[in-house]
A = this chain, B = another copy of it.
Amino acid sequence: HWKARLHEVIFEADTPKGKAFDVLLFVAILGSVIVVSLESVARLDAKHHDLFVLLEWGFTLVFTVEYVLRLSCVGRPSKYALSFFGIVDLLAILPTYLGLLFPGVQTFLVIRALRLLRVFRVFKLTRMLGEATALKNSLYNARSRIAVFLTMVGILVAITGATLYVIEGPEAGFTSIPVGMYWAVVTLTTVGYGDIAPQTALGQSLAALLMIMGYSLIVVPTSIITAEMTRTDPISTQACPECSREGHDRNAIYCKYCSAAL
């Protein structure tokens, strides 16, 4: 039953061996992301090119072996290969091999960063996943409000971008409506690069209005999610069978008003 033991080491994080494997893997992924990043720095690549190539191939071979082992010890290899992590694992090794045919593809190795999501397995998996789930649930419950919010932002961006394009023109950097929309997003989100900025009095007045809207609009998603998270947290919808009073916590077993079993 080498398969079962291998599965325990690779896919579980509860046993000492499984945890050690996950920690080592996490270090290797982080290391490979750093190598790919440093390789892109011209000055460093000129000095240590051979080292970087060596490390890249080293990490790729390690991840290839790991990928093959994962496929071999899992029950249904095809199901794993088509899962989110299965595809990420494959994409994390492909660019190195493809780089032999098409030079320059190696940069996409940075997709290995996605593998860092495995970190949640290493440090108290269950609890973290619980937190992530709570966030996801809040976002899911608030999805229609978020959709209303994003649609309104989209319409605001489209109309402001086009208006500023008409008012300012190419001199101020507004060379087209899509560029105007890009500027509107940059301004509404309060990023404000400054590469494109209104120059006329009318354009600046409208931009000031857009900024105040963008500054205040952040209130909307904040209050949506906050209301959602404070609402979903403590209260169950269960009513006490004895005194019919509501407002019990989800983990309550007995009614806090009359001590009847819920």
- List residues of A whose CB falls within 8 A of some B CB: 33, 36-38, 40-42, 107-108, 110-111, 113-114, 116-117, 119-120, 123-124, 127-128, 131-132, 134-135, 138, 144-145, 147-148, 150-151, 153-155, 158-159, 161-163, 165-166, 175-179, 181-182, 185-195, 197, 201, 204-205, 207-208, 211-212, 214-216, 218-231, 233-234, 245-261
Q: Are B219 and A227 in contact (CB under 8 A)?
A: no
**Contact A135 B145, beta carbon cutoff 8 Å:** yes
Task: Assess A221 versus B216: contact at CB under 8 Å? Given A116-B151, A204-B182.
Answer: yes
Chain B residue with the shortest CB-CB distance to A201 = B178
In-complex Cβ contact of A178 among B40, B195, B233 (8 A): B40
In contact, B37 and A166 (Cβ under 8 angstroms): no
The 6 closest A-B pairs by CB, nearest first: A110-B162, A191-B192, A193-B194, A254-B259, A252-B256, A113-B158
- What residues of B have a CB within 8 angstroms of the CB of A134 in the complex? 145
Report if A190-B215 is in contact (Cβ < 8 Å); known contacts: A159-B113, A253-B256. yes
A41-B177, A190-B191 given; 14 more Cβ-contact pairs under 8 Å: A36-B177, A42-B175, A107-B165, A110-B162, A120-B148, A189-B211, A193-B197, A214-B215, A218-B218, A222-B222, A246-B250, A253-B256, A254-B257, A255-B256
Known contacts being A117-B155, A119-B151, is A189 close to B165, with CB within 8 Å?
Answer: no
Q: What are the residues of chain B within 8 A of A216 when measuring CB–CB?
A: 221
Q: A159's contact among B111, B186, B251, by CB below 8 Å, is which? A: B111
A22 CB, nearest partner CB in chain B, Å: 14
Q: Within the complex, which residue of B138, B163, B204, B233 is in contact with A231, where a contact is CB–CB below 8 Å?
A: B233
Known: A178-B201, A254-B254, A255-B254. A33 touches B131 (CB 8 A): no
A-B contact pairs, 29 of them (CB 8 A): A33-B158, A36-B177, A37-B158, A40-B162, A41-B175, A110-B177, A113-B154, A132-B148, A185-B208, A186-B208, A190-B192, A190-B215, A192-B194, A194-B195, A214-B215, A216-B221, A218-B219, A218-B222, A219-B221, A224-B229, A226-B230, A246-B251, A249-B249, A249-B256, A251-B256, A252-B256, A252-B257, A253-B257, A254-B256
Query: Which residues of chain B have C-beta atoms less than 8 A from A221's C-beta?
Result: 216, 219
The residues of B that contact A212 with a CB separation of less than 8 Å are 150, 153, 185, 189
Specify which of A113, A145, A188 lies most central, judged by the most chain B CB atoms within 10 Å of its CB: A113
A128 contacts across to B, CB distance below 8 A = 144, 147-148
